[in-house]
Structure formats: structure tokens, C-alpha cells
Copies of this chain bind each other. A is one copy, B any other.
Amino acid sequence: MNEHPLTSLLADHIEEQIERRRAAPISTPVLPQTIRDHLESSFDFRSPLSAESVFSGTTEMLWNWAEHATNPRHYGLTRPTVDRISIVADALTALYDPNLAMWEFAPGATEIERHVLRVLGRKFGFDIDEGFGNFTSGGAEANHTATIVALTAKFPNFAQGGVRQLEGAPTLYVSDEAHHSFDKVALAVGLGRDAIRRVPVGEDLKMDVKRLEALVHQDRSEGRIPFMVVATAGTTGAGVVDPLHSIARVAAECDLWMHVDGAWGGAAALSESLKPVLKGMDEADSLTVDAHKWLSSPVGAGMFYCRHRQPINQAFSTNAGYVPDLADDGRIYPMYTTMQWSRRCTGLKLFMMLAQHGLGGVVRRIEHQAEMGQRLRGELIRTGWSILNETTLPVICFTHHDLRNDAATHRSMVQWLKNNQLAWISSLQLRENQYALRASITNYESNPDDIDHLVSSLNDALKVELRATCAAASRADKADPATQISDEE
């Protein structure tokens, strides 16, 4: 029997909190100064507080002052809910505190991560026995790692001499719709943001492969050195997948490292029905998939896969006198193959989830979310909305022909839904001059009722928005002498 109050509180609280997710605030209007004042007055760290009061004070802040992506009516920017056993796993990770620098520190945790990476890798088309896989803090670190490894692979002296000794400027290609983490990556690897070529997308928002080819040839003729193309599998905005197979062909012809940023969409490879959208992913040199995006894992749980082993070793090897000797019986030494050094175990939450539900159970959740996406599309169309993106992944960009095609109007719709705690969706600009609302279904608890509720809330928001527009127009009418004259005619 557990007699300690703090851990009992934790166990009860996890259950209560999972139970009340549907009631969790979708939006919170708090101001920074309110929270700062509260923290300074209640938690100055001068005198010790009871564990119980720290617990209740902390959970209150976490509950009140957050937009809860665990609420099934939160359709925001690819943040899933989290599974009970993955929460338990993160607690065990903290309890045992395995350090994933050296194999000997934590053989169990290290091998558990390898096992997960190996099983999922096979589904993604990456065999880690031949190549490599590791967990990262998130997609940004995984994409960063890919770029370092690509530079190491393509430029023999990169590890030693850096980018200065190269004969031209290394250049990498992403689509206009790619994630902006590559802005940071290009800077962080010393290439500078100028090294990024954003390849235009077609009407379908996918990378225009002909333009990619043309840009590479042009850059090469001007003395730059194209070395990498990043294809996105599930763009953040519209959830489209670049033409992976065609990009792989260009990469092979032009000697580019092909990286797939499947931070979100890559997980579709686990499902036989969704998988066709990723055709060509298994031809890439490296891959990013985030378990915290579509596999219901708490952040951060990035995965990086690479088909080649040699540049990994070359990039991250080092030699420190205080480090114990290495054995060569197949042990894994993450500190010699990853950007991090001492590292927490990230894979345990995925391991326990896969073990409990089976891969089949996890896949059914993804497929359920894709179905909910289809339902949302259908209901929107049925009630007069227009869908603006085409994808089998559950992200829906849409608008209504009664709405003004501008940023302010779409933002105002979003704000009304949030203010009334009805749903968390976002707005964005698609293509040149198209504004849209955006809902992504990445919470496995979102059910048909939630979807129908979203659609009816949207229709309510539309009415409110249109009434406001009419009222404004009528006020303008009365104030405008020209209109008054015309009224008098």
C-alpha cells in the first residue's frame, strides 16, 4: 500500500485529469503579469512549502493557464492528446533516470529505445541494423541532425574544416510550404539563411519538382553547391505531401542528400490504408518523424532515421579521457552518434504504449483520426463551406464564400470559437491570396460528436461574423452622405 501522500495525489490526479479533459479550457485570456505576480507572491522559494500545497498550487496553474491540447475539441497545429501509459512511462523515466550517453549507464533503456526504433523503422522503410536511428528532443533537432549528417556525407572535409574550405556555397532546397525550422537549422549549421532555396509549390501546394530541378541546375552553374533537398511529408499548414518519389529521382540525378521531414505525416506509414500517400519515402537518405505529433506521445519525442552509418560516426565521434572504454559487442553509445550528450530516455513512453496497445492499436487510432478528418470535410461541404486543400491526412483548410477573404475576418472567427470555449482552430494564409481556417485532428479522443459540434459551432460563428459585418455596413451606410443621397433618390 502506498502511504506517501504526494504519489497518491499524483495517481488520483492523473485519473481525475484524464476524466475531465473535455472540460479543460481551450483558451485562456490571462495576461503575463497576472501569472508573474502570482508566482512571485506564492512561490518565492524562501521558505519550504508542504509537498501537498506545491502539488495543488502547480496543478491549478497548469489547468487554468493553458490551452489544453488534450481536450478533444482542440484541433490545433498537430498537438495530440497523451495516453495514460505514456504519462506513466515519463514518470518512470524520471524515477530511474537512465542516462543515455553510454550503453553501460542504462543498457535496458538504451535497448528499449533501439527496439522501438527498429520496429517502427521497418515500417518507415529504414533498417537501423544497416543504417541508424535515434530519438531527439523534437523535429527541430532531428532536422538539424539530418543537415549536419548530409554536410558530413557530401563534403569529405566538413567535420574537420567546416564550410569555409568548400569551393562554393552549399545550398539546400525546401518547398515554400516546408516547416520554418530549416531557417534556424541553416543558421545553426553555419550556412546562413541565404543557403536555403525555397522551391515554389504548385496549385496543389506540393513542391514543383521541375522548378526544383531548374533551380539546382541554375545554382550549380552559378558556382553554388546544391547538396540537400528536404521533402515534406505532411506540411504544417495544409498537410500535403511533396511528390517524394519524383524528388528522390531528382536527388539521385543531381547528387543531393534527400531528407524527408515527416515530423507529422511520416507516421502514416504505419497504416496500410494511409501509407500510399508516402510513396517514395523509403528512397530518402534520412527521415524525421515526431512521436509527439501523431502517436499520442507527450512532447518531445522526435525520431531521426538515416540510411547510412558512416557519416553519423564521422559527425558525432569525439574522444574524452574521462569516458570509460567502449566494448564492441554491438553496444550503442549515443554520445558518439547524436547531437546530445547526456540524454533522457525518450523512447520509453512509446515503448510502453506500443506494448500495451500493440502496433495495431496505435494504427487504429491514426486511422480513426483520418476518418474524423473525412467526416469534417464531408460535414463542412454539406453545410456550404469550401475545402481548400487536398490530402488524405486529417488537416482541413477551409473557408466560406460569405466570408471576406482577408486575415482579420478569419482571425475573428477563430477568436470567437476560442472565446466561447467551443473549439481551438487556427487561421492561415494559403497560396498568394487565399485566407483559410484550419483544423487538424490529432487527438484520438475526438469523436463524431466533437466533429459535428465543431461544424455547428463554425456555422454559429459564421452567423455572428456576418451579422457583425452587416451591422458595420449599415453603420457605414448611415454615416456616408453619398449613400444617404442615394437613399433619398
Contacts and interface: CB of A to CB of B under 8 A. Distances in A.
B194 A161 contact: yes
Given A48-B361, A66-B108, A160-B194, A93 B96 contact: no
B66 A109 contact: yes
A88 B6 contact: yes
A351 interface: yes
A218 interface: no
Contacts of A106: 65-67
A415 to B, nearest CB: 10
A108 B34 CA distance: 10
B115 A43 contact: yes
A94 interface: yes
Interface residues on A, range: 35 or more
B180 A111 contact: no
Given A62-B92, A340-B140, A99 B299 contact: yes
A266 interface: no
Nearest to A183: B318
Interface string A95-128: 1111100011111110110110001000000000
A164 interface: yes
A162 B194 contact: yes
Contact of A358 (B47, B89, B358): B47
Contact of A62 (B87, B98, B144): B98
- Oligomeric state, in number of copies? 2
A98 B397 CA distance: 25
B1 A159 contact: no
A31 interface: yes
A428 interface: yes
Contacts of A68: 96
Interface stretch (A185-193, A381-389, A464-472, A480-488): A185-193
Interface stretch (A7-15, A208-216, A278-286, A372-380): A7-15
Interface in A413-467: 426-429, 438
A404 interface: no
Interface in A344-364: 344, 348-349, 351-352, 354-361
A138 interface: yes
A339 B107 contact: no
Nearest to A161: B192
Interface in A229-255: 236-237
A192 B162 contact: yes
A479 interface: no
Contacts of A189: 188-190
A367 interface: no
Contacts of A79: 97, 99, 105, 342
Contacts of A426: 322, 324
Contact of A115 (B39, B81, B109, B332): B39
Given A51-B85, A66-B105, A79-B97, 19 more contacts: A1-B12, A7-B10, A30-B107, A39-B115, A48-B357, A48-B360, A68-B96, A79-B99, A82-B95, A89-B94, A93-B298, A94-B298, A94-B349, A140-B341, A160-B194, A188-B339, A189-B189, A290-B342, A321-B428
Nearest 8 A/B pairs, CB to CB: A190-B190, A162-B192, A65-B108, A90-B94, A91-B91, A11-B11, A94-B298, A7-B11
26 contacts: A6-B84, A14-B91, A28-B107, A32-B329, A33-B330, A48-B361, A51-B84, A58-B351, A58-B355, A65-B111, A66-B96, A66-B107, A67-B105, A69-B99, A79-B105, A90-B90, A138-B342, A144-B188, A144-B339, A157-B192, A159-B187, A160-B193, A183-B318, A188-B339, A300-B342, A300-B344
